[in-house]
Amino acid sequence: MTLEGKVALITGSTSGIGLGVARALAAAGANVMLNGFGVAAQIEEMRGEMERAFCVTVHYDDADLMKPEQVRALVKRTQEEFGSLDILVSNAGIQFVAPIEEFPEAQWDSVLALNLSAVFHGMKAVIPGMKAKKWGRIINIASAHGLVASANKVAYVAAKHGVVGATKVGALELANDGITVNAICPGWVLTPLVESQLVARAKEAGTEVSSEAAKLLEEKQPMLKFTTPEAVGAMVVYLCSDEAQTITGSPISIDGGWVAQ
């Protein structure tokens, strides 16, 4: 499978799932615009390594996606620097945990701004260019929480349900424009952030990391196995392929059976 000549923008791609997606797309031949926060020197090292490893062009932009004008500017910069924007993967997100009656309103606003509104603004900005080319792939990284709920995560669950809904609307509107719109709904993904949390839990409880991992997984997943960022990346690459051209409006679960219950 090759995406040679395609241009992909992946938000929240300096670590975790987004980085796994970016590397998978680069490995398939796509030129990549990275976006996210982190230490500048480390991001530059990562950007250069991707270019060398996959023989593609990789750029980086630190746009703050909570600001709609910066989302639009990120899309415009990608189009100008690469001459096109064929694939948008909206992955950036944050989390906050508290009961509804204690949930800070500022945190509600922040989670909705990044996890949902940024997805809308990104879709709106890329659609005209994709329509002009009669080809495009919009892939929104939602969550198992886009399909089911958990207590104490009202903003995240509301936002991810909204992402799934926006995905379906986009799919209907663009069904005959050569553009597909899908959502990937991962369960537990073994990112560096989750790995550090498991180490902290094990240290606090005086147990092994493997034991804490099993406890975390069994809270939600029948399959006691983490999804990897690479697996999510592989699904993104498939959704960009010609073979997936009639898959649209789908919330695709990669969750070890989480939402099958």
pLDDT in tens, 38-50: 999 999 999 999 9
- Residue 219: the pLDDT is 94
Digit-coded pLDDT (tens) for 117-147: 999 999 999 999 999 999 999 999 999 999 9
Sign of CA dihedral 62, 66, 70, 72: positive
- Residue 59: the pLDDT is 98
- CA 27 to each of CA 3, 30, 49, 60, 228: distance values in angstroms, whole numbers, following the listed order: 9, 7, 12, 17, 16
Digit-coded pLDDT (tens) for 191-220: 998 999 999 999 999 999 999 999 999 999
Work out the percent of the chain whose per-residue pLDDT is above 70. 100
- Residue 26: the pLDDT is 98
Fill in the amino acid letter for 11.
T
What angle (nearest 5°) sits at the alpha carbon of residue 22, between those of residues 70 and 9? 30
> C-alpha dihedral over 23, 142, 156, 72, to 10 degrees?
70
Q: With bands split at pLDDT 50, 70 and 90, how would you rate the model's confidence at 14? A: very high
Q: Where are the domains of the chain?
A: 7-188+228-256, 190-226
User: Can you tell me the distance from the alpha carbon of 2 to that of 25, in angstroms, rounded to the nearest whole number?
Assistant: 9
- What amino acid positions are annotated as catalytic residues? 156
Helix orientation angle between 192-205 and 209-218, rounded to the nearest 10 degrees:
110
- Residue 193: the pLDDT is 87
- Please determine, for residue 78, whether its predicted confidence score (pLDDT) is greater than 90: yes
Say which DSSP state 116 is in. I
- Please determine, for residue 156, whether its predicted confidence score (pLDDT) is greater than 90: yes
Q: pTM value?
A: 0.96
Pick the CATH number of 7-188+228-256 from 3.40.50.620, 3.40.50.720, 1.10.10.10, 1.10.10.410: 3.40.50.720
Sign of CA dihedral 112, 73, 26, 167: positive
- Residue 205: the pLDDT is 92
- Please determine, for residue 63, whether its predicted confidence score (pLDDT) is greater than 80: yes
User: Can you tell me the distance from the alpha carbon of 59 to that of 51, in angstroms, rounded to the nearest whole number?
Assistant: 9
Work out the average pLDDT over 96-118: 98
